[in-house]
Copies of this chain bind each other. A is one copy, B any other.
Amino acid sequence: MLKPLGDRLVIEQVQTEEKTKSGIVLPDSAQEKPQEGKVVAVGNGRVSDNGERIALEVKEGDSVIFSKYAGTEVKYEGNDYLILRESDVLAVIG
């Protein structure tokens, strides 16, 4: 299992070639194309300036929209994942 650090998430990406399950179609003309994915693991949150950890808003199992060029691709046990920061997540679908 991959346990992301701080305010990072592990995301299972949804292929953008086919129309997504929730019906999101990503416009070609958007300056910054968002993408859909499913959260498979979340970090413990970043530490604030006064030393407290701030829990993430996003939780495991959430479907999220995020900026296309955010994060780092990782292949783990044969699957493709994306590790990104919660601040790169635009919205939760639900």
Residues of A whose CB lies within 8 Å of any CB of B are 1-6, 8, 10, 22-27, 29-32, 34, 41, 44, 47-52, 54, 57-58, 65, 67, 69, 72-78, 80, 83, 86-87, 89-94
Contacts and interface: CB of A to CB of B under 8 A. Distances in A.
A29 B74 CA distance: 10
Q: Which 6 A-B pairs have the closest CB atoms?
A: A30-B73, A49-B49, A2-B91, A4-B91, A3-B92, A83-B90
Given A44-B57, A48-B49, A50-B48, A6 B87 contact: yes
29 contacts: A2-B65, A2-B91, A3-B94, A5-B86, A5-B89, A5-B90, A5-B92, A8-B90, A22-B76, A24-B76, A26-B75, A27-B75, A29-B73, A30-B73, A31-B69, A31-B73, A32-B72, A34-B72, A34-B74, A34-B83, A41-B91, A48-B49, A48-B50, A48-B51, A50-B50, A51-B52, A65-B74, A65-B83, A74-B90
